[in-house]
Amino acid sequence: MASSREAVLRVMRAVSGISCACPAHSTAFGRASRRGWRHAHNQNSSDYAFEMASSNIRYGPGVTQEVGMDMVNLGLGKVAVFTDKNLAKLPPMLDVIASLEKHNVKYEVYSNVSIEPSDISFKDAIKFATDGRFDGILAVGGGSVMDTAKAANLYMCCPGNDFLDFVNAPIGRGLPITSTLKPLICIPTTAGTGSETTGVAIFDYKPLKAKTGIAGRSLRPLLGIVDPHHMQYMPQNVAIFSGFDVLCHALESYTAIPYNERTPRPENPKDRPAYQGSNPISDIWSKQALRIIAKYFKRSVFDAEDFEARSAMHLASVYAGIGFGNAGVHLCHGLSYPISGLVKSYHAKDYNPQKPLVPHGLSVVITAPAVFMFTASCCPDRHIEAAELLGADVTNVNRDDAGRVLADILRKYMNELMIPNGIEAFGYQREDVPALVEGTLPQQRVLKIAPQPPASEDIYKLLENSLKVY
């Protein structure tokens, strides 16, 4: 309880220092000008370098059968296998278990992973890992499973730390991870999160009804085993929403603030954050993901038997994961966290019907048209290029229309892939916008990566403009 109260106070202090002049808030907050923000932002020298890092990736149809050999090669005596209850009965997990048993690897399965995990579900997984005294971790599933495995691995190896120690500030203390973690191998079963490539674990922090996360290079899996055979088991809506997560990963990382404009410059290179801003190497991965999406996304959704399309989207997820894992995501993700965290009644088809849920990819893409209209003036050429990569006709499009052309092609994808018409479809009304603003403000880790960092009134307008999309 004490740590929860401390987290609440920490967020209140952080939020109170951010100007807000949205119409639903008191005028006591006042209005912060763009000039004022930039002056404060530039008090520290900007960075001059970026550092690329990623998990090892192994790709190929049927490659899951090798995971037992990997465990033997690593000399792991006992392995914790994380999955969810649905996947526990499906061929991807059956293939994993067959490989482990073939190679005489001792293992225990934890299948109680929560879809869209919380601090509560993380702590349950941490207890399982800590009690089991495992030598390594294997995650089989989507982003929720992989993120849960990362958290379990971290706190299993740091038993003396409080849960909030490593959680991103201002909700947590954001302490650096200095312990050596156990080997983690991830086998993704969705074409979406890219979590097999990143050192980030996202969860709902229940005391504040807000999403936050843990970030650090040491959280990154040792190996991602990307087996396209697993893609045929994705239900249609899972393919849609996870695909839009890939799309937004690529767009946000490509349009993120340039790495050499990000502040502060770290005094020690080990303190350089995972989310460093767009850079010449991450750009390559992000743009290639967009090219794949344009060619294969719709095919992969409407025909689960289209092995070529689903395999390609699996690779696009990896490409976008490497891109955003080093450049970062920004406003779509920052806005998504309260949209999913504060949901009251929305139930997404093909997901757990026992609790209200806005799946992550859906909560991310729902604000994308408004977001890229807002950010376009900062890097119009990149917005136009991204729209063209997604299939838009940019002939004679001038830089002033950059936001419009990207928003239009996004709405086209969203409409054709049956995305609901704005956050009103999730049960939110205009009177809910102030709470969504307050849930967005603590997401400074991603907000500061935006090419146009938002004041609180900008966040209000972005959400207001996302009540309806079409």
Q: What average pLDDT does this structure show over 158-162? A: 95
Give the separation between CA 390 and CA 83, rounded to whole angstroms: 33
Q: What is the pLDDT of residue 109?
A: 98
- Which of 3.30.460.10, 3.40.50.1100, 3.30.390.30, 3.40.50.1970 would CATH assign to domain 56-231? 3.40.50.1970
CA distance 332 to 215: 18
Does residue 276 carry a pLDDT above 60? yes
pLDDT band at 3 (very low <50, low <70, confident <90, very high): low
User: Is 383 a residue whose pLDDT tops 70?
Assistant: yes
Taking the domains of the chain in order of start, what are their residue ranges? 56-231, 236-464
The tokens 């209005």 sit on which residue? Answer: 31
Q: Pick the more confident residue, 211 or 174.
A: 174
Q: What is the pLDDT of residue 92?
A: 95
Tens of pLDDT, residue by residue over 434-451, are 999 999 998 888 999 999
Q: Give the tens place of pLDDT for each residue, 350-359.
A: 886 678 899 9
d(CA 450, CA 452): 5
Residue listed under structure tokens 């006709």: 393
In angstroms, rounded to a whole number, what is the distance separating the alpha carbons of residues 242 and 190? 7
pLDDT of res. 118: 94
Closest C-alpha to 442, from 155, 262, 207, 122: 207
Do residues 276 and 310 make contact, with C-beta atoms less than 8 angstroms apart? no
Phi, psi of 275 (to 5 degrees): -90, 100
Q: Hunting for tokens 């019907």 — which residue is that?
A: 353
Query: pTM higher than 0.85, yes or no?
Result: yes
Task: Quote the CATH superfamily of domain 236-464.
Answer: Dehydroquinate synthase-like - alpha domain (1.20.1090.10)
